[in-house]
Chains A and B, each alone.
Chain A
Amino acid sequence: GAVVSQHPSRVICKSGTSVKIECRSLDFQATTMFWYRQFPKQSLMLMATSNEGSKATYEQGVEKDKFLINHASLTLSTLTVTSAHPEDSSFYICSAYGGQGAQPQHFGDGTRLSIL
């Protein structure tokens, strides 16, 4: 149980392109979804927290207009990197949490984004 699917797993695109990453909880309802960024050999850096039906809460230093998050349903959240530039190249990982009393966050397999 507690499967989180993240798609696509790999994206290579030109600078200036907008990229959408999807995160789905397949077998549970996710009241909260999280988006992380991970640089090589470093730990996870929380970018934003999103609750279904409400605006995402962004961590300090994360540009909300750059990283658009939509959590339209209890099983789907999307992260759109708008007008991506090479410095946005990174490993993006989502996680989902089922709410009070549920198991801890379960993670997707990540999306490796490379901006040329």
Chain B
Amino acid sequence: QKEVEQDPGPLSVPEGAIVSLNCTYSNSAFQYFMWYRQYSRKGPELLMYTYSSGNKEDGRFTAQVDKSSKYISLFIRDSQPSDSATYLCAMSPYNNNDMRFGAGTRLTVKP
């Protein structure tokens, strides 16, 4: 079993839809949870960063962490074609240094 599981998709939605992206993990030591967005042939860009359980909102993006279920989510409201990218979840234990990545979910938002 991988430490971090993420459905690679691909996921295709119409413009304006709410997108839900998820990851599960097995290591209870993870404390820091990140979502990165990666456009084709570019490096990952940090989108959301949360510590421990709870929700965090930034514009159209909401990150949720449920440590009891070892489950994290990223919601994108009013999705736009420019949101089309691969979304990577990542998590790390205490020192925010040793990160483990999910496989990435490829999202396409169609106009």
Selected contact of B43 from candidates A6, A100, A103, CB within 8 Å: A6
A110–B106 CA distance with the chains assembled, in angstroms: 18
Question: Does B49 contact A44, Cβ atoms closer than 8 Å?
Answer: no
State how many angstroms separate the Cβ of B41 from the closest Cβ of chain A. Answer: 7
How many pairs of A and B residues are in contact by the CB < 8 Å rule?
A: 50
A residues within 8 A CB of B8?
Answer: 41
Chain B residue at minimum C-beta to C-beta distance from A107: B43
Selected contact of A44 from candidates B34, B44, B96, B106, CB within 8 Å: B44
Please judge, given known A-B contacts A44-B88, A103-B49, whether A109 and B104 are in contact too, CB under 8 Å. no
Question: Does A110 contact B43, Cβ atoms closer than 8 Å?
Answer: yes
A67-83 contacts to B (CB < 8 Å): none
Chain A residue at minimum C-beta to C-beta distance from B92: A104
Total interface residues on A, CB under 8 Å, equals 23
B16-57 contacts to A (CB < 8 Å): 32, 34, 36, 41-46, 49
Please judge, given known A-B contacts A43-B88, A44-B88, whether A104 and B96 are in contact too, CB under 8 Å. yes
State how many angstroms separate the Cβ of B77 from the closest Cβ of chain A. Answer: 23
Q: Which residues of A contact B (CB under 8 A)?
A: 2, 4, 6, 32, 41-44, 91, 93, 95, 97, 100, 102-110, 112
Give 11 new A-B contacts, CB below 8 A, not counting A44-B88, A107-B36: A2-B46, A41-B8, A41-B106, A43-B104, A44-B44, A93-B44, A97-B97, A103-B49, A104-B34, A104-B49, A105-B99
The 10 closest A-B pairs by CB, nearest first: A107-B43, A109-B43, A43-B103, A107-B44, A110-B43, A43-B101, A93-B43, A104-B34, A43-B104, A108-B43
